[in-house]
Structure 1
Amino acid sequence: MFAGPQVSGAIRNQFNQVTNTVDSGADGDSFMSAEEKAYREAMKTVAQKEAKDWTLDEQKAAATDIAKNGTSSVVYAKAKAAMDAGTKFSMKLTNGKMMQYRIIGINHDDLADGSGKAGLTFLTTSTTISSRMNATSTNAGGWEKSELRQKMNSGEIWKLMPSDLQSKVKSVTKLTNNVGGAEKNAAVTATSDKLFLLSYSEMVPTSYWASSYPWTSSEGTQYEAFKGKVTNNYSANESLKIGSNWWERSVVPNTLSTSFLFVHDNGQPSSFGGAPDVINVCPAWCF
């Protein structure tokens, strides 16, 4: 089926509205933030390009427009198609290594400042970074108190990110059991994060431990990229494979106080390792 002239015209009108907004009122430019100016400039071209060719500035502009306009955004369909196809982007880290990443969520994460949703959520898909979770064999304090969280939000892993990414990342609210895995009815509490690890419940449709450890269902909801693709909560999933094991931020739901969950190299999201184990880190972030 081909889009008729009415549909094509509507799309052109949407893009023209963006362009007209960008080009109108030069006097108003002096009152815009640098971020708003970059967004408007990028939107002049982002709607005309394939998502796979979006630069970092254009990814940010697309996310901003989607956060503002939802499914009515002129780039929503392209972002969703890229997410569904698993389209990969890449960037150079400050250590010279290349890191690949993809879109996993659209208007999914809550901005930490309470102003709404982050337009796009991204997840690293390469085995470029590795780290332990904690220096000692403990999961006390969960993700919130972990050494790895500190590394990702202000320490050595955050410093691996190019400044162009750092300046664009939006802090979001992440829900996690920040007590420990032994407590069946442990509270799930919020942290504000720039870079974060995915939780178990953000990957799977339902928790394997839903009845025995209810909090395992409450650390966020399944990202859109995984819906219908990640169907196994205790066995392998092709969509979660990156060629190696990678950390989750969820503690292990059992009486062990030493471990966190990780995704096995076969895509099983219910594996676990000791906090001092060095495992791949797949940072996620939002624009």
Structure 2
Amino acid sequence: MPKRYPWNQTDTNEGSWEKTYLRYLMNDPAGEVYRLLPDEIVELAVPVIKQTANTYDGSNTIIETEDKFWIKSEKELYGRNIFSAPGEGHWYEYYRQEDVPWGKKRNGSDEYTLLRSPNYGTSGYFCYVDANGTASADTAGDSLGLAPAFCI
């Protein structure tokens, strides 16, 4: 992606991934990220069910969304919950391998990369991967690197 994106336009994780500004940008045909995706990928990508916890109200209930494009959860990337609530999918086989890049690069340098998971126990943070591959969390309005995921 040519620039960094926030999860939301304000510092809240209310509504979890389902209600994020970023999800709109990625899945609505009028969304900025959707319009940047190659036509071949848009045509081949199929919607899948993604699970994300609602940490905003402390319930940690799992919300299911149907997405053609998404960003990984902390569990899908690391295989465990570090800053996120449990129940957000399964560890992707690809990331179980050694020496697999966890985030994305911009101009040849590793970049902080957004994750779908709201930060467990807070109402304003989401999880991300720092430039060294370490799990962390940041305010929902901050802009970080975006590595869209999809299924064909």
TM-score under structure 1 normalisation?
0.47
Cα distance in 2 for partners of 1:181, 1:268 equals 23
Which structure shows the bigger proportion of residues in strand conformation?
Answer: 2
Report whether the alignment pairs 1:168 with 2:44: yes
Shift in Å at residue 161 of structure 1? 1.0
Cα distance in 1 for partners of 2:142, 2:77 equals 22
Report whether the alignment pairs 1:198 with 2:72: yes
Q: Deviations over 1:99-141 (max 9, x none)?
A: xxxxxxxxxxxxxxxxxxxxxxxxxxxx644211111111000
Cα distance in 2 for partners of 1:128, 1:173 equals 27
Q: 1:265: which partner in 2?
A: 131
Shift in Å at residue 181 of structure 1? 4.7
Q: Structure 1 residue runs of 4+, over 6 Å off? A: none
Kindly name which structure, 1 or 2, has the bigger radius of gyration based on alpha carbons: 1
Q: Deviations over 1:161-193 (max 9, x none)?
A: 12222111100110111x22562x511121000
Cα distance in 2 for partners of 1:265, 1:221 equals 23
Q: Secondary structure at the match of 1:217?
A: coil
Letter in 2 for 1:239: P
* Structure 1 unmatched ranges of 5 or more: 1-126, 230-236
Cα distance in 2 for partners of 1:174, 1:250 equals 11
Which structure shows the bigger proportion of residues in helix conformation?
Answer: 1
User: Comparing both chains, which one has the higher relative contact order based on Cα–Cα distances under 8 Å and sequence gaps of 6 or more?
Assistant: 2
After the TM superposition, which residues 74-153 of structure 1 pair with which residues of structure 2 at under 5 Å, given as runs? 128-153=2-27
Q: 1:277: which partner in 2?
A: 142
After the TM superposition, which residues 40-59 of structure 1 pair with which residues of structure 2 at under 5 Å, given as runs? none
Q: Secondary structure at the match of 1:276?
A: coil
Q: Secondary structure at the match of 1:150?
A: helix
Q: 1:158: which partner in 2?
A: 34
CA contact (8 A) 2:27 2:34 kept: yes
CA contact (8 A) 1:129 1:282 kept: no
Cα distance in 2 for partners of 1:277, 1:206 equals 24
Q: 1:207: which partner in 2?
A: 81
Cα distance in 1 for partners of 2:51, 2:137 equals 19
Fraction of identical pairs, as percent = 28
Cα distance in 1 for partners of 2:144, 2:92 equals 22
Cα distance in 2 for partners of 1:261, 1:206 equals 13
Cα distance in 2 for partners of 1:241, 1:285 equals 15
Letter in 1 for 2:95: F
Alignment: residue pair count: 145
Cα pair distance change 1:169/1:238, threshold 3 Å: closer
Cα pair distance change 1:217/1:228, threshold 3 Å: farther
TM-score under structure 2 normalisation?
0.86
* Structure 2 unmatched ranges of 5 or more: 105-109
Q: Secondary structure at the match of 1:167?
A: helix
Cα distance in 2 for partners of 1:205, 1:147 equals 26
Cα distance in 2 for partners of 1:247, 1:238 equals 17
Shift in Å at residue 276 of structure 1? 1.1
Letter in 2 for 1:240: W
Q: 1:239: which partner in 2?
A: 101
